[in-house]
Amino acid sequence: MQTVIYVEIILYLLAMLAIGIYFSKKDLTHNDYFLGGNKVPGWVLAFSERATGESAYMFLGAIGFIYVAGLSGIWVLSGMFFGVLASWLFLSKRFMMEQQKYKVNSLTDYIAVKFPEHADIIRWLASIVMVFFFVCYLAAQFSGMGKTIYSISGFSITWGTIIIAMIIIAYSCLGGFMSVVWTDAVQSFLMLFSFIIIPIVAFMEIKNQGLSVSAELSLRGGGADSWTGGLNGLALGAMLFTNFSWFFGWLGGQPQLSSRFMAITTEKERVTGRNMAIIWTMIVYVGAFLSAIFASALYSQGTLADPEMILPHMIFEILPPWVAGIIIAGILAAIMSTASSQLLVITTSISEDIIHKTLRWNITSKKLVHLSRFVALISGIIGIIISLKSESVIYSLVSFAWAGIGNTFSVVVLLIFFWKRVSGIGVIATIIVGAVSAVVWSLSPLEAMVSAKAATFFICLIVGIVFSLLYPGKEPKTAA
């Protein structure tokens, strides 16, 4: 890897650290640390939500999947896009209004205050589930960074993981939500730049080589040139439903995303953020799809042992080194934005939801910030250790996380927002069954027929409704 690429990556990492140091010098209250004190502009929150929501999956996982699947890979992005669209159009305003009404700093705290008779058990249960999944999810992000650095430079996976993870831990600890969202904004622009440049240059390379995208896809076989993957009937329905099932995890249940909605201050800021988020998503998703399809035309299957590394391979093949360095920084940005937000969720769950609200430690706002920084440091170190020692376990758990957290809590959020009869017992049952069913379903043969991402959502929905009817609550609730 050329020197200019190393220099650009180092400068990028130092810039992220500088943002954390800058916000550490601010006099942060615990509300600033957990939710930005409602001081962050809507457009920044939108870019932060988008960068956090995509992670390395967009650069590596989705690109690799579409590169192998061909045109039918578009349905994965379609499910995700409609999920993002639904969250901004139908849920963002409600999250903003509910936060202003209840003055809460996390998704867990919001759910708990809606059901005061069961508030403590909800906080304990939701926090345990989130910490369990997110520590392992965080560890997987750390491992992904180490593997990315190794694949493009040969640099030690261990030291690559440790160095970048410590930078993430540092800026997350120092500035909390404030530094996380502002670093996310920078990272979001890098991701946007990447998916504008890559497909344009890849298309020019295809023309220079005299290739035809449609012809190359046809030669690939296996339905690569078909929007349906060459399937029909029941097989087609199963493929479409499985790929589209990503939709369900975007419906308010990802705490690292819903916190961005909760931090919005005014309707004007929300509308600005909504518009920015939708435009960003359209550009990035179209760019990602085209990048993967153009990679299919340029590189035959089997070019790389790991198809998820096809994008970095193409970047180094077709881009000048100084541009390649920016794109590689964009890949790291996608991973880092997600990792820092997951670390903040862990920190909030432990220090705010458990220690401050459930155990009711009577400490000052400034001491709570110091405690949160300590929790973030310890959680990050645990994540590093797990990522270096138990990688195979991590990646198994990551496959459960979208269902175990996103789909489970999406059902809880939707029931609270739109069904006045939901009860505290119904919420508790939903969280327990959602976490368990996500793991059990993913490990069972049923996963081959219906994805846990879809199954968990509907299982939770049924459980939430049934238990709410069987055990109605006494506390008042509101619905949209």
Span 226-264, pLDDT tens digits: 999 888 888 888 888 888 888 888 899 889 899 999 999
Question: Are 195 and 287 in contact, with CB atoms under 8 Å apart?
Answer: yes
pLDDT score of 470 more than 70? yes
Instruction: Give dist(CA 439, CA 464) in Å, integer.
Output: 18
* pLDDT for residue 478 is more than 50: no
Whose tokens are 């890849």? That residue is 202
* Token pair listed for 376: 């973030």
What integer pLDDT is reported at residue 475 of this predicted model?
A: 52
Of 43-52, 118-127, 146-155, 451-460, the poorest mean pLDDT is in: 146-155
- N-to-C CA span, the chain: 55
pLDDT for the residue numbered 233: 86
Residue type, position 111, single letter? I
| Model confidence pLDDT, tens digit, residues 289-327 | 999 999 999 998 888 877 878 888 898 889 998 888 888
Domain boundaries, given as residue ranges, for the chain: 3-392
Grouping H, G, I as helix, E, B as strand and the rest as coil, residue 151 is helix
Please state, rounded to an integer, the average pLDDT across all residues of the chain. Answer: 85
Predicted local distance difference test score (pLDDT) of residue 391: 53
Mean pLDDT, rounded, for 379-405 = 71
DSSP string, 413-476: HHHHHH-TT--HHHHHHHHHHHHHHHHHHHHSGGGGTS-HHHHHHHHHHHHHHHHHHHS---S-
Task: Summarize pLDDT for 59-86 with one digit per residue, the tens.
Answer: 777 888 899 999 999 998 999 999 999 9
Segment 188-203, tens digit of pLDDT: 888 899 999 999 999 9
Residue 178: per-residue pLDDT = 81
- Cα separation, 270 vs 438, in Å, equals 32
pLDDT at residue 23, rounded to an integer: 75
Amino acid 476: pLDDT:
44
Q: Which fold has domain 3-392?
A: Sodium/glucose cotransporter (1.20.1730)
Is pLDDT of 433 > 90? yes
**Rounded CA gap, 213 and 191, in Å?**
25
pLDDT at 306: 78
pTM of the model: 0.86
What is the rounded CA–CA span in Å between residue 340 and residue 19?
13
Whether 260 contacts 49, CB under 8 Å: yes
